[in-house]
């Protein structure tokens, strides 16, 4: 994996794609599982977005490890890294549920209990993914901005 993209560290660039597509995939899974009209409109989009989020997750982790080696270890970076390692199992679960709700949604008739189980699993996966992304993002922001003094506003160029 390249350490830089367009002269910038790869990690923040890849993470921004991950932070958009993972929650979007979670939202689509929830809509697909709970709202029949959305299910008909979303179709294959739901598992495809979940798949892209799943692929981006280890790319984000790998690029973060590269950045960690370049910056050196710190307690905040270590915490962020440990939390990030916990996202992949949730993303695998979200992707499996995305495929399941897509396949079940394509069936005209099926056991009602199966649909209920899929909806419950969708909610569990969405909550798990969402809380993990928020925790990872918060710890990453702490690691990035912890040494920046935000107590005094920056002065303008003309002494304002």
Cα 136–chain centre separation: 9
Cβ neighbours around 136 below 10 Å, total = 26
Residue pLDDT, tens place only, 130-156: 999 999 999 999 998 987 666 666 666
Query: What integer pLDDT is reported at residue 4 of this predicted model?
Result: 81
Q: Is residue 149, in this structure, part of any structural domain at all? A: no
Q: Is residue 28, in this structure, part of any structural domain at all? A: yes
Q: Is residue 49, in this structure, part of any structural domain at all? A: yes
Q: Is residue 152, in this structure, part of any structural domain at all? A: no
Q: Which of 138, 53, 131, 36 is nearest to 94 (CA)?
A: 53
Q: Is residue 54, in this structure, part of any structural domain at all? A: yes
pLDDT band at 96 (very low <50, low <70, confident <90, very high): very high
> pLDDT at residue 26 above 90?
yes
SS3 34: helix
pTM of the model: 0.87
Residue pLDDT, tens place only, 102-124: 999 887 667 788 889 999 999 99
Residue pLDDT, tens place only, 33-71: 999 899 989 999 999 999 999 999 999 999 999 998 888
Q: Is residue 160, in this structure, part of any structural domain at all? A: no
4: phi then psi, degrees, rounded to nearest 5: -130, 155
End-to-end CA distance of the chain: 45
- By CB neighbour count within 10 A (0-12 exposed, 13-18 middle, 19+ buried), where does 26 fall? buried
Given a contact cutoff of 8 angstroms between Cβ atoms, the answer to whether 119 and 33 are in contact is yes
Domain that holds residue 36: 4-143
Q: Is residue 154, in this structure, part of any structural domain at all? A: no
Q: Is residue 157, in this structure, part of any structural domain at all? A: no
SS3 44: coil
| Total domain count, the chain | 1
């Amino acid at each position: 994996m390249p350490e830089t993209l367009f002269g910038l560290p790869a990690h923040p660039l890849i993470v921004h794609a991950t932070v958009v597509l993972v929650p979007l995939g979670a939202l689509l899974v929830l809509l697909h599982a709970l709202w029949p009209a959305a299910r008909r409109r979303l179709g294959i989009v739901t598992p495809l977005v979940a798949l892209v989020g799943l692929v981006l997750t280890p790319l984000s982790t790998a690029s973060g490890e590269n950045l960690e080696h370049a910056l050196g270890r710190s307690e905040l970076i270590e915490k962020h890294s440990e939390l990030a390692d916990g996202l992949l199992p949730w993303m695998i679960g979200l992707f499996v549920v995305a495929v399941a709700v897509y396949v079940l949604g394509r069936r005209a008739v099926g056991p009602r209990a199966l649909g209920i189980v899929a909806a419950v699993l969708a909610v569990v996966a969405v909550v798990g993914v969402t809380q993990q992304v928020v925790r990872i993002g918060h710890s990453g922001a702490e690691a990035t901005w912890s040494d920046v003094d935000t107590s005094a506003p920056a002065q303008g160029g003309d002494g304002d």
